[in-house]
Amino acid sequence: MIIIFKKSASEEQIATFTEDLKSQGLGIHESVGENTHLIGLVGDVSKLDVDQLAANDFVEEVKRISEPYKAANRKFHPDDSTIEVKGVKIGGCNFAVMAGPCSVESEPQIIGVAEAVKSSGASLLRGGAFKPRTSPYSFQGLRGEGLELLCAARRATGLPIVTEIMNTEDLPLFEDVDMIQVGARNMQNFELLKALGTLDKPILLKRGLSATIEEWLMSAEYIMAGGNEKVILCERGIRTFEPSMRNTLDLSAVPMLKAKTHLPVVVDPSHAAGIAWMVEPLSMAAIAAGADGLMIEVHNDPKHALSDGAQSLTPAKFDAVMQKVKATAAFFGKTLN
């Protein structure tokens, strides 16, 4: 349920009214925008009488929300959310590129790639330490050592780091990570989402391989319901009947999400296509569709990469893509971090 206040409502009236609702066991999300001041109620609102609430002379309107996601709902928070990752802003008019290898492989590799992507204009370093691989015989990541190497690359370049977590037990290792990624395969690992909801740290929530937009937003809701509202959604392609690409990039999800949620949306063209040459056109299209950022895989030697070499750009190619990203983002009124 959302309650919109009249412009004439006083702080005191709103505070007393809100306290009363809290004392009935309801969670309150307050949103103060330029034109609207509203609160969203989370919890069992079935016993509330809409007419009685609307009868207060400082209340403009009371609406029940039919969608099952509340905190993530744009109706709760009409303005775009901007989420900051160590000073890098994502959302609203702020656009950011996160780039780096699929897997962290060695110190010279991750530091070399970090320096290269930084000089091309990336503002966050990505790299997998814990890798969710389809085959148990494939490279599984350097795990704890990979996280240490990411920290070394951050020290060398100043770039904040984003890396994937696969289970709750590893959480203590992620204390020093700037943004934690939940991969496609874990989008509905609800215990993990609940644990991440207790942190005060941005979470990059990738879309599950065959998740609907509503299921994806419900996963964001799991994190937000725990108190962590710093969720960024990442469209990374979905399973369709088309075999010529690794996945199908669902670009229509971007404007649809923008209508349904205030959370920032970034696009990962690398995992969507699985093919390096497609990363550039899909990046342009993602910006035009309204994305707030991009996640792009870059490897110093894609042919010998331990994972996802076929979709990884060389630093030189990434630099060329970034020139176009900068121009396209500016055209669409975005400020590149």
Contact residues for ligand PEP, defined by CB under 6 A = 102, 128, 132, 183-185, 206, 236, 271
Residue 302's binding partner among ligand PEP, Mn ion, none (Cβ under 5 to 8 angstroms by kind) is: none
Under DSSP, the state recorded for 134 is S
Closest separation between CB of residue 133 and ligand PEP, Å?
A: 9
Phi-psi region of 211 (alpha: psi -120 to 50; beta: other; left: phi over 0): beta
Residue 166 buriedness (CB in 10 A; 0-12 / 13-18 / 19+): buried
39 vs 165 by CB, closer to ligand PEP: 165
Closest separation between CB of residue 152 and ligand PEP, Å?
A: 20
Positive or negative, the Cα torsion across 283, 289, 294, 295?
negative
Closest separation between CB of residue 157 and ligand PEP, Å?
A: 20
DSSP string over 159-193: --EEEEE--GGGGGGGTT-SEEEE-GGGTT-HHHH
Residue 317's binding partner among Mn ion, ligand PEP, none (Cβ under 5 to 8 angstroms by kind) is: none
CA distance 39 to 36: 10
Closest separation between CB of residue 141 and ligand PEP, Å?
A: 10
Place of tokens 């330490």: 129
Which residues contact Mn ion by CB under 5 A? 102, 308
Q: Which residue is nearest to ligand PEP (CB)?
A: 183
CA distance 11 to 307: 55
99 vs 184 by CB, closer to ligand PEP: 184
71 vs 204 by CB, closer to ligand PEP: 204
Closest separation between CB of residue 107 and ligand PEP, Å?
A: 19
H/E element, 215: helix 213-225
H/E element, 98: strand 94-100
Residue 262's binding partner among ligand PEP, Mn ion, none (Cβ under 5 to 8 angstroms by kind) is: none
Closest separation between CB of residue 323 and Mn ion, Å?
A: 24
Closest separation between CB of residue 46 and Mn ion, Å?
A: 44
21 vs 257 by CB, closer to ligand PEP: 257
How many residues in total does the chain contain? Answer: 337
1 vs 263 by CB, closer to ligand PEP: 263
Residue 180's binding partner among Mn ion, ligand PEP, none (Cβ under 5 to 8 angstroms by kind) is: none
Residue 118's binding partner among ligand PEP, Mn ion, none (Cβ under 5 to 8 angstroms by kind) is: none
105 vs 308 by CB, closer to Mn ion: 308
Tokens of 328: 């396209």
Number of H helices, E strands in the chain: 10, 15
CA 25 centroid distance within chain: 30
Residue 236's binding partner among Mn ion, ligand PEP, none (Cβ under 5 to 8 angstroms by kind) is: ligand PEP
183 vs 302 by CB, closer to ligand PEP: 183
Closest separation between CB of residue 270 and Mn ion, Å?
A: 7
First-to-last C-alpha distance (Å) of the chain:
35
Q: Cα torsion for 249, 79, 221, 209, to the nearest 10°?
A: 0
40 vs 160 by CB, closer to ligand PEP: 160
Q: Are 56 and 17 in contact (CB under 8 A)?
A: yes
Residue 259 buriedness (CB in 10 A; 0-12 / 13-18 / 19+): exposed
Residue 133's binding partner among ligand PEP, Mn ion, none (Cβ under 5 to 8 angstroms by kind) is: none
Residue 183's binding partner among ligand PEP, Mn ion, none (Cβ under 5 to 8 angstroms by kind) is: ligand PEP
